[in-house]
């Protein structure tokens, strides 16, 4: 428990001040290998695109990405909501038919579990 608290505090203070924020969202449709892609309920279409139900992605091979992946899995397993900080998609409002793909999805910067 102490380790999880330390990770949460570290991530909370390491997020860029300019990142966009969504609070109290349910993670859905999680896929990945090097890059983890997942969806959230009620995504903002002016900030995200929809790639087969997934709206956010991050590199799970970095130390930060491994921490975020652990927290995401914990939230999914315990059916808890997440707060996410992200950089917006380069093609907001699109989907997998008209332009959204992994490389232009919104990028997760930080995650918190409620």
- Residue 71 in this model has a pLDDT that exceeds 80: yes
Q: Specify whether the backbone of 16 is left (phi greater than 0), alpha (psi in -120 to 50) or beta.
A: beta
> Where along the chain do its domains lie?
2-113
How many C-beta neighbours within 10 Å does residue 78 have? 8
pTM, entire model: 0.82
Model confidence at 5, pLDDT cuts 50, 70, 90, reads: low
How would DSSP label each residue in 2-68? Answer: HHHHHHHHHHHHHS-TT-EEEEEE-EEEEEESSEEEEEESS--TTT--BBTTB-EEEETTSHHHHHH
Backbone angles phi, psi at 65, to 5 degrees: -65, -40
Q: Considering the domain 2-113, what is its CATH architecture?
A: Beta Barrel (2.40)
Model confidence at 67, pLDDT cuts 50, 70, 90, reads: very high
Backbone angles phi, psi at 49, to 5 degrees: -115, 170
């Amino acid at each position: 428990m102490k380790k999880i608290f330390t990770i949460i505090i570290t991530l909370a203070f390491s997020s860029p001040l300019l990142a966009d924020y969504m609070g109290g969202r349910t993670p859905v449709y999680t896929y990945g290998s090097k890059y983890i892609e997942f969806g959230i309920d009620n995504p903002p279409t002016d900030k995200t695109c929809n790639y087969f139900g997934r709206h956010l992605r991050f590199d799970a091979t970095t130390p930060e990405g491994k921490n975020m992946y652990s927290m995401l899995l914990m939230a999914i397993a315990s059916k808890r909501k997440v707060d996410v900080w992200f950089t917006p998609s380069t093609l907001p409002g699109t989907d997998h038919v008209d332009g959204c793909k992994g490389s232009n999805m919104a990028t997760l910067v930080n995650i918190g579990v409620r």
